[in-house]
Amino acid sequence: MHAPPKKRRILLIEDMVPLAKLYIEFLRNEPLDVVHVARGRDALASAESRPPDAVILDLKLPDMDGLDVLRALQDRDPGVSVVIVTAHGSIDLAVEAMRLGAFDFIVKPFNADRLNLTLRNALERRALTRIVEGYRKDLDRDRFHGFIGGSDEMQAVYRTIESVATSRANVFITGESGTGKEVAAHAIHRASPRRDRAFIALNCAAIPKDLLESEIFGHVKGAFTGATADRPGAAMLAHGGTLFLDEICEMPVDLQSKLLRFVQTGAVTPVGSGQEARVDVRIVAATNRDPLAEVQAGRFREDLYYRLHVIPLALPPLRDRGEDVVEIARALLADYVREEGKSFTAFAPEVEARLRGYDWPGNVRQLQNVLRNMVVLHDGAWVTADMLPARMAAPPAVPCAPSASTGPASAGGVLPDGDAVVPLWQVEKEMIRRALRLTGDDVPRAALMLEISPSTIYRKLQQWRSTEETAV
């Protein structure tokens, strides 16, 4: 005995009730569950609560443009099969709908056979797309919401993003500078049911400390000098969507306690106001520091850390992603060649080997910079090794002694002149100190000058601080 086949759900969107009744009559003998609505808005609500397998859509609706309804249905479920019903005079519109991805259209008046046949085909396509989607889910991907790379390390990242996207749980992203933390935050939002609502990003390191509270929670007119009108903050603007707090470890500790309250209760109190509002946001936080070390050093509140660190997402450094570096480089080369009007078509094998061998302290951002410079400065059909920056040259077979005029020994400070050699850590320390001095202690900018990640500098500073403390 076979179980009766599961009824397929059809959403019929038709504002003329007699016509809708006629279509339902046409489909009477099919194993279908037909839901009829007369308005666009009702159609979207119905699709949300009872997702249809196929849709019959009359483009002329009283409350919404039929093409907008089509777009919204496809945004919800890109695999849905939509059959357009159109009058003779509006075939252009139906063709436009097909261009937007509708499955087919039928011209009024039509008979039961025509409707049945079209619908059967639409349902068959739906079933096929489900099978393909199923396969695709299991397959490894080399692209995912703005990420390029098919390495095992990135497959794990994609899977985490996909599995957390549907929940409201807060996500804490860590990773060296340039590993794609912002890309990941966007991906979480886009893969989530919140994707049609706002994604609001706030960089805690880029906003002056005394303005940060108002940026997050908003302010009322007169709250401080310059507050000439009420202004909603990021938390309010992100209502229903995602709030991305970038460089979260840079947030001053007193503001961290206000943020903690918000994370616990969803209550927002604008600066200068006594009134609370409640919002529904999903928080994604990111840092290129080691958050636990920040907690231990007393710079980051432990209770806030645990509230935000519900789902950890660690982005691997580019040097640990195997072939991804070449894959990303090829995609970037194609983009830059197009943008700069150059004619490169590929990398010479030696260049690919050097891309693989280099350790990419600035990760994908550094790869972007290297390739952009190269494309701007050179031309040809192949990218050859001589076009790469000197620091990516293969290491020389015999280490060179620093020369008096060009080597680090002439750089001054603790570094001696001439042929004298000092321990490498001393050179490193001097260079980091110098970069910090030149940038006014701006760690991210110093990191850029040194072509290392800011977290490396933070780590070194901490290391030196603790060795100096123990030395005293």
Residues that bind Mg ion (CB under 5 A): 181-182
Q: Which does 177 bind (CB under 5 to 8 A by kind): Mg ion, ligand ATP, none?
A: ligand ATP
Q: Which does 361 bind (CB under 5 to 8 A by kind): Mg ion, ligand ATP, none?
A: none
Binding pattern to ligand ATP, positions 89-118, x when CB under 6 A?
A: ------------------------------
Binding pattern to ligand ATP, positions 170-189, x when CB under 6 A?
A: -----x-xxxxxxx------
205 binds ligand ATP (CB under 6 A): no
In the complex, the smallest distance separating the C-beta of residue 242 from ligand ATP, rounded to whole angstroms, is: 15
**Residues facing 12 on adjacent strands:** 36, 56
CB atoms inside a 10 Å sphere around CB 99: 9
Tokens in use for 188? Answer: 């979480």
Q: Which does 383 bind (CB under 5 to 8 A by kind): Mg ion, ligand ATP, none?
A: none
Nearer CB in complex with ligand ATP: 81/151: 151
> Which residues from 272-311 bind ligand ATP, rule CB under 6 A?
288
Q: Residue 84, SS3?
A: strand
- Of the candidates 40, 105, 39, 44, which has an alpha carbon nearest to the alpha carbon of residue 74? 44
Q: Residue 25, SS3?
A: helix
Find the part of the chain contacting ligand ATP (CB under 6 A) among 11-19, 31-39, 144-152, 220-228.
Answer: 144-152
Q: Which does 149 bind (CB under 5 to 8 A by kind): Mg ion, ligand ATP, none?
A: ligand ATP
Q: Which does 282 bind (CB under 5 to 8 A by kind): Mg ion, ligand ATP, none?
A: none
CB atoms inside a 10 Å sphere around CB 60: 14
Taking the C-alpha atoms of residue 285 and residue 83, their distance in angstroms, rounded to an integer, is: 42
316 binds ligand ATP (CB under 6 A): no
Reported as type and span, the H/E element at residue 54 is strand 54-58
CB of 216 within 8 A of CB of 260?
A: no
User: From the list 34, 97, 263, 364, which residue makes contact with ligand ATP (rule: CB under 6 A)?
Assistant: 364
Nearer CB in complex with ligand ATP: 183/255: 183
In the complex, the smallest distance separating the C-beta of residue 179 from Mg ion, rounded to whole angstroms, is: 9
**Residues facing 84 on adjacent strands:** 57, 105
Tokens in use for 452? Answer: 């290392």
Sequence-separated (6 or more) residues with CB below 8 Å from residue 95: 105
CB atoms inside a 10 Å sphere around CB 333: 20
Whether cis (ω within 30° of 0) applies to the bond prior to 454 is no
> Which residues from 31-90 bind ligand ATP, rule CB under 6 A?
none
Q: Which does 175 bind (CB under 5 to 8 A by kind): Mg ion, ligand ATP, none?
A: ligand ATP
User: From the list 365, 445, 459, 460, which residue makes contact with ligand ATP (rule: CB under 6 A)?
Assistant: 365
Find the part of the chain contacting ligand ATP (CB under 6 A) among 69-77, 143-151, 212-220, 274-282.
Answer: 143-151
In the complex, the smallest distance separating the C-beta of residue 347 from ligand ATP, rounded to whole angstroms, is: 17
Total residues binding ligand ATP (CB under 6 A): 16
Taking the C-alpha atoms of residue 177 and residue 157, their distance in angstroms, rounded to an integer, is: 17
Q: Residue 299, SS3?
A: coil
Q: Which does 355 bind (CB under 5 to 8 A by kind): ligand ATP, Mg ion, none?
A: none
In the complex, the smallest distance separating the C-beta of residue 461 from ligand ATP, rounded to whole angstroms, is: 17
CB of 299 within 8 A of CB of 256?
A: no
Nearer CB in complex with ligand ATP: 249/304: 249
Q: Residue 18, SS3?
A: helix
Q: List, as one string, the DSSP characters of 320-367.
A: GSTTHHHHHHHHHHHHHHHHHT----EE-HHHHHHHHHS--TTHHHHH
How many helices (H) does the chain have, and how many strands (E)? 18, 16
147 binds ligand ATP (CB under 6 A): yes
**Residues facing 104 on adjacent strands:** 83
CB of 167 within 8 A of CB of 191?
A: no
In the complex, the smallest distance separating the C-beta of residue 123 from ligand ATP, rounded to whole angstroms, is: 37
Closest residue to bound ligand ATP by CB: 180
User: From the list 66, 149, 241, 317, which residue makes contact with ligand ATP (rule: CB under 6 A)?
Assistant: 149
Nearer CB in complex with ligand ATP: 105/158: 158
CB of 51 within 8 A of CB of 96?
A: no
Binding site for ligand ATP (CB under 6 A): 147-149, 175, 177-183, 288, 328, 364-365, 368
